Chains A and B, each alone.
Chain A
């Protein structure tokens, strides 16, 4: 097999790699905010349960979570394994990343000074107006570097989907490596991830720059 055949075959999986990446961000970024809110809830039970959720998802390997979401229903209920693996894969990734994003959001929100809330309150902003207009924009600026870190990690983590044999780029690469007894597919995968992350880094850098008009 020539290197070009390898690249072509692996490229066919890139769409799925991107699907994991974008769908995970689409779901986990807002879900993380919800989890952060529950974690900061004044209701002790709610915040304790959320704390456990975060601890479990951050404290166990993503690989296990992928296996659990994909094959768990089969072992638990005897139901069939989903034909379209994208669904369990995205669910597992989203639940996992939401836990990380939640902690980032919480850190950002808790770092805001009480004075900002109080100024808005005295000026008559409602709690939602205060959060959406005063707190959230400043939190986004503060957490952007940490979010970038997670997004870069997510790019590389998409390769974990090979554990459930979801045919994304890395899974295909690994299969070729096995059948051809070649290391080349891994090198190709590395280049793919590196370029992907260069793009991510560029975009996030632009975003950070756009928010640098204030301190």
Chain B
């Protein structure tokens, strides 16, 4: 299978605290990968390194054979800005708190990047944006502003905004954590639909049932390392590692 994204021997420190330790992870085309683990284990940091919001201290970061960063004597050396710009076009990121642009209408939130960054024609982008909104069940909200939407609707707009750039891989950092339980379902449904369409996705989540259901690979992180990974039914239902067992038991008790 084609490796879409690969991180090798990633190291990341904040001050003296090592947050990611020699972490390696790869995602193949069409794969849905879930990352689970306790708070502070470095899940967000890993996603931020993968999406170039944070620079790794050491390691390789590769998208479809293109090096965003290459390890040279234990230090991550990043590629040229042009190369990074090209690589940025390959992935999208959905934030926990949406980060929609409040001064733009829903439609403009979705349309601006494809027109500005990818220099695509307005007509074509508009058609695609409207189709995405329909897919998200938000056809009637095209002209609304973010503050007029519920959290779940805002998150669906932010997913549409990411999809409008036609990324090859989509990262989600706890996409439902800022939402009420009733609204969580609507986001999970959208992600499930994307999975059916073979969208490649990496999802950090605390929703175990969802992770088991939708993903075909799950990674359990603790203290900046991958402790256990594998088929979701195996890892979630029959964890072998002490730390994983503890974490899952504590989740169940809640």
When the two chains form the complex, which single residue of B51, B97, B112, B118 contacts A122, counting CB atoms closer than 8 Å? B51
Q: Is A137 an interface residue (CB 8 A)?
A: yes
Interface-centre pick from A119, A123, A134 (highest chain B CB count, 10 A): A123
The digit string for A63-81, where 1 denotes a CB below 8 A from any CB of B, is 0000000000000000000
Bound-state Cα–Cα, A116 to B99, Å: 6
The digit string for A86-126, where 1 denotes a CB below 8 A from any CB of B, is 00000000000000000000000000010110111111110
User: Is chain B's interface secondary structure helix, strand, loop, or mixed overall?
Assistant: loop
Could you tell me the distance in whole angstroms from the C-beta of A114 to the nearest C-beta in chain B? 9
Judging by beta carbons under 8 Å apart, are B85 and A118 in contact?
Answer: no
Judging by beta carbons under 8 Å apart, are A115 and B95 in contact?
Answer: yes
Judging by beta carbons under 8 Å apart, are B103 and A138 in contact?
Answer: yes
Bound-state Cα–Cα, A149 to B80, Å: 45
Could you tell me the distance in whole angstroms from the C-beta of B56 to the nearest C-beta in chain A? 16
Contact of A124 with B97 at beta-carbon distance under 8 Å, contacts A133-B112, A213-B145, A215-B102 already known: no
Q: How many Cβ-Cβ contacts under 8 Å join chain A to chain B?
A: 55
Judging by beta carbons under 8 Å apart, are A124 and B99 in contact?
Answer: no
When the two chains form the complex, which single residue of A118, A121, A122, A129 contacts B116, counting CB atoms closer than 8 Å? A129
Q: Is B53 an interface residue (CB 8 A)?
A: yes
Could you tell me the distance in whole angstroms from the C-beta of B115 to the nearest C-beta in chain A? 11
Judging by beta carbons under 8 Å apart, are A115 and B97 in contact?
Answer: yes
Q: Is A214 an interface residue (CB 8 A)?
A: yes
Bound-state Cα–Cα, A120 to B113, Å: 8
Find chain B residues with CB under 8 A from A137 CB: 103
Interface members, chain A 171-215 (any B CB < 8 Å):
213-215
List of 4 A-B pairs having minimum Cβ-Cβ separation, nearest first = A124-B117, A119-B99, A115-B99, A123-B113
Interface residues of A (CB under 8 A from B): 113, 115-116, 118-125, 129, 133-134, 137-138, 141, 213-215
Other CB < 8 Å A-B pairs besides A122-B53, A137-B103, 7 of them?
A: A118-B95, A119-B95, A122-B88, A122-B91, A123-B113, A124-B117, A214-B146
